[in-house]
Amino acid sequence: MTRKLALFLLATVFVFSVLALAQTDPALPAAPSATPAAPAPDAAAPAAGTGSKIGTINIEQAIFASNEGQRDFETLSKKLEPKQTELKNQNDEVESLKKQLSTGGDKLSEDARGTLVKQIEEKQKKLERSVQDARDDAQSQQNEIAQRILQKMAPIIVKYAGDKGFGLIMDTSNPWPQGPVLWAGPSVDITKAIVDSYNTQSGVAAPTRPVATRPAGSGVKPTTSGATKPATTAPAPK
């Protein structure tokens, strides 16, 4: 996508102890009926939490890179386009008035200049409020999508970690020191494997026009391509 205005994704702090999750929440939330449930582990699979390996996953990237994430965030982008256009028009109006003041303000009477200044201030404040409201609304909708996907992805992570002998999976969405991981090699990263498994189980087809993008705030190079974020909704008021 070519839009440059930013939205904010609520970063998920995901230090995922497989043993703790398996013991405290054996009945994880089921996926909606339209989405196939994760298959039950077979009898030969290692029990969750019995492994000793430590792995990493970029949860933020996994959400955005999944077929479902790409589809739903692209849908959200299109939904937000009218608001983006509306706010851009408001911003253009403010900038036009500012230019009028700077180029011809000395030719105006004191009263006319004062009226123009007041008009600019009022429109500027209105624009700033509208931008903030639009950002809050867009962030809320974005977070709803992310949380819904994460809820369905969690059981897949638990099963994969148990099958592969992991005892702990840590999130690398935020770079250290904001995140818990100082450094981790690619050999312990399970992001792509989880995305592939999630895509298979979700049944959502790959997008026809994938766009390789890294979500803002992600400190690790994406391990999958095709992640996309919704367009932002507003220009930053000047």
Q: Which residue has the higher pLDDT, 197 or 34?
A: 197
Structure tokens at 160: 């994969």
Average pLDDT over residues 30-36: 35
Q: Is residue 188 part of a domain?
A: yes
Q: Is residue 210 part of a domain?
A: no
**Containing H/E element for 135?**
helix 110-164
> pTM to 2 decimals?
0.66
Q: Is residue 108 part of a domain?
A: yes
How many independent structural domains does the chain possess? 1
pLDDT tens-place string over residues 49-106: 567 899 999 999 999 999 999 999 999 999 999 999 999 999 999 999 999 888 887 7
pLDDT at 228 over 80: no
Res 120: pLDDT:
94
For residue 30, give every residue at least 6 positions away whose Cβ sits within 8 Å of its Cβ, in sequence order, or none.
Answer: 37
pLDDT tens-place string over residues 176-206: 998 889 899 999 999 999 999 999 999 999 9
Q: How confident is the model at residue 238 (pLDDT cuts 50, 70, 90)?
A: low
Average predicted confidence (pLDDT) for the chain: 75
| Range with the poorest average pLDDT among 4-18, 21-35, 76-90, 103-117 | 4-18
Q: Is residue 156 part of a domain?
A: yes
Res 138: pLDDT:
95
Task: Provide the CA 92 distance to its chain's centre, in angstroms.
Answer: 28
pLDDT at 1 over 90: no
Longest dimension (CA), the chain: 87
> Which domain range does residue 129 map to?
15-202
Q: Is residue 20 part of a domain?
A: yes
Res 41: pLDDT:
42
Task: Provide the CA 150 distance to its chain's centre, in angstroms.
Answer: 11
Average pLDDT over residues 5-34: 35
Q: Is residue 153 part of a domain?
A: yes
For residue 11, give every residue at least 6 positions away whose Cβ sits within 8 Å of its Cβ, in sequence order, or none.
Answer: 60, 173, 174, 217
Beta carbons within 10 angstroms of residue 123's beta carbon:
17
